[in-house]
Chain A
């Protein structure tokens, strides 16, 4: 059984976007904060920190979920995908990102990283979603700029429909 004392810093090694990375976390360190402050991956945004807004959504072992409700020590050895992993190394946007760009599916961009990660996993599970299914998935995110319409269009376009 693993036991980590309060305040004790533990070496956590996980795979982020295909790369093995390590950092130190005490038990209460959120995965969101670990990604940002230990691994210097600032793409994952911290919004409400209680699972409501969706900004921090990442893909953890093939599950799109809230990284603000997960502790870094829970993620030892797991595979994490964040928004930094979507574009090519040279910065070329992937299909989904291009669709967001072309449809004006973001304005301030704060919610975008989380929505992109949700949509990435969602489209793997449901490659040809209806608008209704896209809206149902989007209900787990809050965007205060777009009114969501353009996001629905972008995800629809990315699905080749």
Chain B
């Protein structure tokens, strides 16, 4: 038995889960799939007094498409998300990123919200949410609030969630017209933590110029973030511009250094993967226009 002794609580409603958070505060850990938290518990990196198992809250396991966004419950399993048309056709960047999330045996249990709550800087789901400017829905006994994903992630395994709050859902912006999406990453083994992950959303006008661009990076700094690329708006959406953007961003970032990669290697990955992925997003945008 690896984890510390904890009280096991399995609430039947969100209200009961919130009552438990009120009772235990930061001494509680919320578990959904447990693919990240379970490992942290087994290694005793987390030592909660209470484990709040939200897997019984079925109402948090579905996704609903609105006009501009898809609202997905926190408990949507990653493998289930890959079968939801609302998410797969509505949020193409997520559809492109999910095959990189863990493995067949972990996506089957791991959840969208759990990955966001865990806030690993190299995780794909938080990166996509940040790139698309999605939001995280949090609920506490006092009420609920929506936090923009770009403000939610604060650093390594650190988020804006308060001790009495739980994530109940994620808000995913639906694909926009004339806009292309692309995702790629490098990991030591497929499904492992990304050494560098890149996500791009690019809107291209009928003259082939970039009108809007979001270029997200994961595994580079202590949280997923969108790189500054305003200076490239109006430039032609071609391979040369993609290379310029990637080279500029690679110089601007402050990469992590760990056993897998030093800063220079991470910068080089941004140059190569970034250029390729940005160009793929430009090409996808052009395809979208042709299809209309």
Could you tell me which A residues sit within 8 Å of B by CB distance? 1-7, 26-30, 33, 49-52, 54, 57, 63-66, 68-71, 73-74, 118, 122, 136-137, 139-141
Q: With A51-B35, A69-B34 given, is the CB distance from A26 to B5 under 8 Å?
A: yes
> Is A27's CB under 8 angstroms from B7's CB?
yes
> Is A66's CB under 8 angstroms from B8's CB?
no
Instruction: Find residues 63-117 in chain B having any chain A CB closer than 8 Å to their own CB.
Output: 99, 102-106, 108-109
> Is A69's CB under 8 angstroms from B10's CB?
no
Closest beta carbon of chain A to B234's beta carbon, Å: 40
CA distance A65 to B104 in the complex (A): 8
| B10: contacting residue among A2, A7, A65, A122, CB under 8 A | A2
The total of Cβ contacts below 8 Å across the A-B interface reads 106
CA distance A63 to B33 in the complex (A): 12
> Is B190's CB under 8 angstroms from A136's CB?
yes
Closest beta carbon of chain B to A144's beta carbon, Å: 13
> Which residues does chain A contribute within 8 Å of B105, judged by CB atoms?
54, 57, 64-66, 118, 137, 140-141
Indicate if B262 sits at the interface (CB-CB under 8 A): no
Indicate if B16 sits at the interface (CB-CB under 8 A): yes
> Is A27's CB under 8 angstroms from B34's CB?
no
Closest beta carbon of chain A to B80's beta carbon, Å: 10
> Is A65's CB under 8 angstroms from B106's CB?
yes
CA distance A49 to B43 in the complex (A): 9
| A1: contacting residue among B16, B38, B42, CB under 8 A | B16
CA distance A80 to B39 in the complex (A): 21
> Which residues does chain A contribute within 8 Å of B265, judged by CB atoms?
none
Closest beta carbon of chain A to B46's beta carbon, Å: 12
> Is B106's CB under 8 angstroms from A66's CB?
yes
Indicate if B12 sits at the interface (CB-CB under 8 A): yes
Closest beta carbon of chain A to B157's beta carbon, Å: 15
> Is B4's CB under 8 angstroms from A65's CB?
no
Indicate if B186 sits at the interface (CB-CB under 8 A): no
| B191: contacting residue among A28, A74, A139, CB under 8 A | A139
> Which residues does chain A contribute within 8 Å of B33, judged by CB atoms?
69
CA distance A137 to B41 in the complex (A): 26
Indicate if B2 sits at the interface (CB-CB under 8 A): yes
Indicate if B1 sits at the interface (CB-CB under 8 A): yes
Q: With A68-B42, A74-B55, A139-B190 given, is the CB distance from A28 to B109 under 8 Å?
A: no
Q: With A49-B42, A69-B34, A139-B190 given, is the CB distance from A64 to B108 under 8 Å?
A: yes
CA distance A51 to B2 in the complex (A): 13
> Is A70's CB under 8 angstroms from B7's CB?
no
> Is A50's CB under 8 angstroms from B39's CB?
yes
Q: List 28 A-B contacts (CB under 8 A).
A: A1-B10, A2-B10, A3-B9, A4-B7, A4-B9, A7-B5, A28-B3, A30-B2, A49-B2, A50-B39, A51-B39, A52-B39, A64-B105, A65-B109, A66-B35, A66-B106, A69-B34, A69-B42, A70-B34, A71-B8, A74-B10, A74-B55, A136-B104, A137-B103, A137-B104, A139-B103, A140-B106, A141-B105
> Which residues does chain B contribute within 8 Å of A122, judged by CB atoms?
104
| B38: contacting residue among A29, A33, A70, A141, CB under 8 A | A70
CA distance A7 to B121 in the complex (A): 34
Closest beta carbon of chain A to B72's beta carbon, Å: 19
CA distance A71 to B2 in the complex (A): 11
Q: With A27-B51, A139-B191 given, is the CB distance from A69 to B6 under 8 Å?
A: no
CA distance A69 to B32 in the complex (A): 11
Q: With A4-B7, A50-B42, A139-B190 given, is the CB distance from A64 to B104 under 8 Å?
A: yes
CA distance A6 to B27 in the complex (A): 13
**Which of the listed residues B4, B11, B33, B38 has the most CB atoms from chain A within 10 Å of its own CB?**
B38
Residue of B nearest to A5 (CB): B7
**Which of the listed residues B1, B12, B33 has the most CB atoms from chain A within 10 Å of its own CB?**
B1
> Which residues does chain B contribute within 8 Å of A68, judged by CB atoms?
38, 42
> Which residues does chain A contribute within 8 Å of B35, judged by CB atoms?
51, 66, 69
| B108: contacting residue among A4, A5, A52, A63, CB under 8 A | A63
> Which residues does chain A contribute within 8 Å of B12, judged by CB atoms?
1
